Structure 1
Amino acid sequence: MSDLSQPTGHEDALRALPRPDGTAPRALVLGATGYIGGRLTPRLLNAGYRVRVLARDAGRAASFPWGAECEIVEGSADDAAAVAEAMRDVDVVYYLIHSMSAGTDFEESDERAAHTVADAAASAGVGRIVYLGGLHPEGVRLSPHLRSRVLVGEILLASGVPTLVLQAGVVIGSGSASFEMIRHLTEVLPYMPAPKWVRNRIQPIAVRDVLHYLLGAARVDPDVNRAVDIGGPDVLRYGQMMNGYAVEAGLPQRAIAALPVLTPELASHWVNLVTPVPRSIARPLVASLQNECVVKDHAIDDIIPPPHDGLTPYRRAVALALGRLDADAVETSWLDAEVSGAPSDPLPSDPDWAGRTVFTDRRSVETTASAEALWHVIVGIGGENGWYSSPLLWAARGWMDRLVGGVGLQRGRRSRSAARVGDAIDFWRVETIEHTDAGSLLRLRAEMKVPGDAWLELRAVPDGDRARYEQRAVFFPRGLGGRLYWLAVLPFHGFIFAGMAARITAAAEAASAPTAPVDA
């Protein structure tokens, strides 16, 4: 019986157990700079483990928020000398690496790394290996990448070191490649001609539940040496996953037509065309969807009990990934008390194609005006003072908003020279005001009718006796309509936003100019 089943409480069962000499156990993380590893490492530290990471680039690993708290060994998983050094005095090894390369030798590379790690762990007397593999059906032909992941698990299980292979399917969380493919396909395509695998059943799992199982795996009994499936509570078709995302993102249901002619190769080209997910990653993801991936049994429950509040339903996992739920209502334990953000949140280390699509328009102008004079103009923008750009274009935008049921420009503003958080300024709402010696910021949130979320930021940055004006328009499109809207208004940005920057700084300079003396 696993000690996780003892009546110590769910969270206590995830804490590190001291060694017999009273010292904290040491965990080695391979893949600490990856999606899962970057989220697991700080949680291991919170749980009381001493953490060592093996990274190809020690400088990159050190730049993570947790970098200073970890011991870093530079090297790759197929470098026998580096792996042997990293294995010294280690209790548990987390194997969180897998090649996503489209090259022909990735299987050989994966196999070589697995043998290197297995041999080093056995020689060093490591107590446990934990491997995150891929959920897959039995007795069918697997894609090369899934086949390789299965082989890695088999090599580790045969190492002589007690090994737990956790086999997961689609992981739901911002930054997960599988989730990002769902996100971008759903948001871009109101109608989706799709490969026939959209009808396949899949059992997705929230990233927070994956981390729960990974933490618990460090404390299972030493006689456990096996592979187990992990998945969330919902079994869905891929098309249902897309439409579940659409509901949580506030999008209409997507019409999906399964076509038998889209091969994995063609489908990966198509995914790369309509989403920012690189083809080198889209190709193995698409290939792995050719088979149904459903948990075969619940043997994991006898090894690691589920989270105390249960496994996360798919749509709740999506809502967490979209930031629609208050993370503090979910992540309230010591597990995340010192971790920046919930596991579903994006990290700075996530790939640049991860997260919501965002469009921006940035302007920066050096001005001879003082920062205070520039701020006086910024904080008084809108209403009777106008928007320091083409009045006709702003009026047209206001009329358009009124036609579709919006507030238009008729609200004006409560004061010509002052603003506070919550004030309405035409079809904007004041969201943030910061006015300090280091600089000033006015952030406005759009309340006009647009297919997405929009903000306008205006800054006055001191530069000695002068100032720099910074302006940023930010737009998060909703669905294909949001993207088309941005493209439609893009030609007018040169008139509107460039004109704003020029006229606001000119007004500030005029206000800063010394007044000429008047003759008596």
Structure 2
Amino acid sequence: MSGDATKGATGSTCLVAGATGYIGGRLVPELLKAGHRVRCLARSPGKLRDHPWAADVETVRGDVTDAGAVAGAMRGIDVAYYLVHALGTGSGFEETDRRAAQVFGAEAHRAGVRRIVYLGGLTPRGVPAHELSPHLRSRAEVGQIFLDAPVPAAVLQAAVIIGSGSASFEMLRYLTERLPVMVTPRWVRTRSQPIGVQDVLRYLVASANMPASVNRTFDVGGPDVVTYLEMMRSYATVAGLRRRLIVPVPVLTPRLSSHWVGLVTPVPRSIARPLTESLRHEVVCHEDDITAYVPAAPGRPLPYGEALALALRRVQDAEVATRWSSAAVPGAPSDPLPTDPGWAGGSLYRDERTMTVDAPRESLWKVIEGIGGDNGWYSFPLAWAVRGWLDRFMGGVGLRRGRRDAERLRVGDSLDFWRVEEIEPGHLLRLRAEMRLPGLAWLEMYAERDGRGRTVFRQRALFHPRGLFGHAYWWSVSPFHALVFGGMARNIAQAAAKGMSSHPDGRHGVR
């Protein structure tokens, strides 16, 4: 039976198990947008409170292996999404996944749920289960448990999902960014069919309205079949990195290569190892039957290059890039979320300083807004001057631009070798660096009040490195941060306390 799954039944009550995870956190707002009501099942509901949709969903605490908690969460549910995987919990993750799926399927049946939707891994055809990696074998087993349950299930099977926060994508990101030359295992020549997270979510949302007769797996992938080597080289191109030299060798076994991945990337070894072991399998779609229920939208599914560009857009587009520093609400599923693990999203180095200021917040803001130009930068002047000379030498703008107005700033103003990216009057000034750097940099300054009503100055420098040289640059200058950024924070606080827009030395506030 075929039909447009985006039409017909709407307004279902959906349970999302795994809302704190990579896909779950991005699926919830898409379900709400489609007119569904959403209940989230999470072991740690507090992790969801920073999402903008937190007030629009019902959240219940519980573990998917706890039959009582699952039974309570299933009451009144029409469609149950299972987006939980025990990957990363240790060697017993297969048994945990098996038990959780059995509980979920049984309680869905008791509660009268009309459909289960599960996102699993794309598995190679014709490979016996015992020859699959533990990761893929467990994903396939969970899918089969749901297909054997009395509740109709739509089991979507995907390979690498392209989007910030996806563990497989983050491994690809770190390997490509950090290693201009790679001696790699043979699996870099293994073919895969990656898919953008936007398309995965579109299929998941539409699966809620599939006919009751549908109980099967669906292979989902983008239009491109590529090797991991091609994926890394494309990443380098889109990210603006130099072409990577990649040399596959036969001596690196999956076990050894998982140690190598763990050494180079911040992805936890408990996650990297099973994922790396799975890379030996070719994962390519063998059917496209889901289009009978979810007709392709114009330009969808996205080609690999376009999905990759969206995943990296926040480090290419100045306006999107501010989300690195502001932790703002993401504008697209490929953007980061508050619940993403700390190792996701690429490297972001920080230098943060906080000072209590003996002055009204208005006085502190006056100093912040007056920074730069003739007022200087309230720290070691020679360091700023040398940095400006170096920037000029490398073809950059240096410090010669000064500022448009001695007292007021507005978004878009040039400020020495910075650009004003955001102003919240009386509270925040965010500057984006325009000097020559092997990466992207921001400087944020906040005027705030603490719980005791005291004025607080908060300063944050952020740097997103580009390639190995970017990482080397940060570590080479970080020993001087206490002098430059620490001195800046102290002198700005002191200038505000004295009611001055510059330090008594007349310019840079040297101490």
* Pairwise CA distance, 1:102: 5.6
Aligned residues: 488
Structure 1 CA distance for aligned equivalents of residues 478 and 303 of structure 2: 39
* Pairwise CA distance, 1:15: 5.5
Structure 2 CA distance for aligned equivalents of residues 53 and 64 of structure 1: 12
In structure 2, the residue matched to 1:294 is 284
Instruction: Describe the SS at the equivalent of 2:491.
Output: helix
Cα–Cα, structure 1 residues 128 and 375, in superposed 2: closer, same or farther, change >3 Å?
Answer: closer
Which segments of 5 or more consecutive residues in structure 2 lack a partner in the other structure? 321-328, 502-511
In structure 2, the residue matched to 1:479 is 467
In structure 2, the residue matched to 1:90 is 77
In structure 2, the residue matched to 1:213 is 203
Cα–Cα, structure 1 residues 155 and 511, in superposed 2: closer, same or farther, change >3 Å?
Answer: closer
The 5-angstrom pairing of residues 275-290 of structure 1 reads 275-290=265-280
Stretch of structure 1 that moved more, 447-456 or 58-67: 58-67
Contact 1:15/1:48, CA 8 A, preserved across alignment: no
Cα–Cα, structure 1 residues 456 and 103, in superposed 2: closer, same or farther, change >3 Å?
Answer: closer
Contact 2:15/2:79, CA 8 A, preserved across alignment: yes
The equivalent position to 2:188 in structure 1, one of 185, 193, 198, is 198
Structure 2 CA distance for aligned equivalents of residues 374 and 68 of structure 1: 35
In structure 2, the residue matched to 1:461 is 448
The equivalent position to 2:94 in structure 1, one of 107, 122, 138, is 107
Percent of paired sites with the same residue:
57
In structure 2, the residue matched to 1:117 is 104
Cα–Cα, structure 1 residues 256 and 59, in superposed 2: closer, same or farther, change >3 Å?
Answer: same
* Pairwise CA distance, 1:323: 2.7
In structure 2, the residue matched to 1:247 is 237
Instruction: Describe the SS at the equivalent of 2:139.
Output: helix
In structure 2, the residue matched to 1:40 is 27
Which segments of 5 or more consecutive residues in structure 1 lack a partner in the other structure? 5-12, 19-23, 330-338, 514-520
* Pairwise CA distance, 1:62: 6.1
The aligned amino acid for 1:14 is T
Q: Which has the larger radius of gyration?
A: 1
* Pairwise CA distance, 1:465: 9.6
- Does residue 263 in structure 1 map to residue 263 in structure 2? no
Structure 1 CA distance for aligned equivalents of residues 429 and 61 of structure 2: 44
* Pairwise CA distance, 1:258: 0.9
In structure 1, the residue matched to 2:6 is 14
Structure 2 CA distance for aligned equivalents of residues 355 and 488 of structure 1: 23
Structure 1 CA distance for aligned equivalents of residues 153 and 448 of structure 2: 56
* Pairwise CA distance, 1:204: 0.4
Structure 2 CA distance for aligned equivalents of residues 133 and 124 of structure 1: 23
Structure 2 CA distance for aligned equivalents of residues 71 and 500 of structure 1: 45
Cα–Cα, structure 1 residues 442 and 86, in superposed 2: closer, same or farther, change >3 Å?
Answer: closer
In structure 2, the residue matched to 1:332 is none
Cα–Cα, structure 1 residues 153 and 397, in superposed 2: closer, same or farther, change >3 Å?
Answer: same
* Pairwise CA distance, 1:308: 4.0
In structure 2, the residue matched to 1:230 is 220
Instruction: Describe the SS at the equivalent of 2:378.
Output: coil
In structure 1, the residue matched to 2:476 is 488
In structure 2, the residue matched to 1:126 is 113
Contact 1:378/1:442, CA 8 A, preserved across alignment: yes
Contact 2:50/2:338, CA 8 A, preserved across alignment: no
Q: TM-score, normalised by structure 1?
A: 0.87
The equivalent position to 1:344 in structure 2, one of 325, 331, 334, is 334
Instruction: Describe the SS at the equivalent of 2:313.
Output: coil
In structure 2, the residue matched to 1:52 is 39
In structure 1, the residue matched to 2:64 is 77
Contact 2:183/2:248, CA 8 A, preserved across alignment: yes
Contact 1:135/1:294, CA 8 A, preserved across alignment: yes
* Pairwise CA distance, 1:403: 1.4
Structure 1 CA distance for aligned equivalents of residues 445 and 49 of structure 2: 34
